[in-house]
Amino acid sequence: MSLFLQIIVNGILLGGLYSLMALGLALVWGVLNIVNLSHGAFIMLGAYASYYFFTLLHLDPFAALPLCMLTVFALGFLLQRYVLNLIVRGPMFNTLLITFGIDVVLTYLAQIVFSADFRVVNPSYAGANFTMFGATLPLVRALAFAMAIALTLAVWLILGHTRIGRAVRACAQNLVAARLYGVEPRTVYALTFGMGAALAGAAGDLYGVVSQINPYIGDPLTAKSFAISIIGGLENPLGVVVGGLFLGILESLTSLYVGSTYTDVASFGVLVLVLITRPKGLLGRTT
């Protein structure tokens, strides 16, 4: 029983990070209708930013979180403002292809600049644990989980209760009407994409603390973020949290009871099932 509890706790901790990873992708997808295949590359860049803040400036990865977010935000903002805005109203293929191209460029730039070696962000408290409800929690994973949930809530508040959040939602609902009410979509799109990138940067920073970094970590993370966005649905950030936790727990359970080689089969199998039976996500309204 305590093993089962431990597995569930591990899954929840993993799921918190997953939710943060997927949140940026879901935001961009829901508002801009762009499925950003370079999302994983943004996560990778966030992880490297955290690594360099840590090794060169001796900044704690949790303290460097805003800086990582800002770095990747800037990249995302500029990409959307000057490249993606050019094709954003084009057919779906083209947005998929161009973000794939960006993904390739970022991945191989990272390989050239950062080299393909594995990196770890290793603060002094990396090995610390604490016990809660009879389960052992690694400190960094628990902190990462708390940060992920806090950021998710922040996004929910920003989208729901601020001027810029209302502008973003207006663009998602009806671009023409938003324009008539004085929203400048070029900037709002760039801000939204930047926000998605910043969330990826935050996820990357936290990913760097709990796992190893190399230039190729992006693609599987993009695929996972997809799965979570679909399972949770694109309608609100809380759905993504549900999707992330669901996937985290599912993967933990699968690796214990079926075998760790089956985790991908389970997560993507569930994704296909959800798509076919509940295309609006687990929490989405069925029509």
The residues binding another protein (CB under 8 A) are: 29, 35, 83, 85-94, 96-98, 100-105, 107-109, 111-112, 185-186, 189, 219, 223, 226-227, 230, 259, 261-265, 268-269, 271-272, 275-276, 279
C-alpha to C-alpha distance for 105 and 180, rounded to whole angstroms: 37
- Least distance (Å) between residue 37 CB and another protein: 8
CA-CA distances (angstroms) from residue 131 to 10, 19, 135, 142? 13, 24, 6, 11
- Least distance (Å) between residue 83 CB and another protein: 7
- Least distance (Å) between residue 104 CB and another protein: 3
Decide if 14 contacts 248 (C-beta within 8 A): yes
* Residue 182 identity (one-letter amino acid): G
CB of 82 or CB of 125, closer to another protein:
82
Token pair of 242 as six digits: 């549900």
- Which residue do the tokens 């293929």 mark? 93
- Least distance (Å) between residue 101 CB and another protein: 3
CB of 110 or CB of 210, closer to another protein:
110
Backbone angles phi, psi at 236, to 5 degrees: -150, 155
Compute the Cα dihedral for 63, 66, 70, 73 and give only its sign: positive
Q: How many CB atoms lie within 10 A of CB 96?
A: 14
- Least distance (Å) between residue 162 CB and another protein: 22
CB of 120 or CB of 273, closer to another protein:
273
Decide if 201 contacts 46 (C-beta within 8 A): yes
- Least distance (Å) between residue 24 CB and another protein: 16
- Least distance (Å) between residue 27 CB and another protein: 15
- Least distance (Å) between residue 279 CB and another protein: 6
Decide if 75 contacts 42 (C-beta within 8 A): yes
CB of 70 or CB of 258, closer to another protein:
258
CB of 153 or CB of 186, closer to another protein:
186
CB of 101 or CB of 160, closer to another protein:
101
CB of 70 or CB of 272, closer to another protein:
272
Contacts of 172 (CB under 8 A, 6+ apart): 30, 31
H or E, element range at 9: helix 2-32
CA-CA distances (angstroms) from residue 142 to 103, 256, 287? 30, 21, 38
* Residue 283 identity (one-letter amino acid): L
Nearest to 210 by CA among 118, 149, 117, 127: 127
CB of 94 or CB of 211, closer to another protein:
94
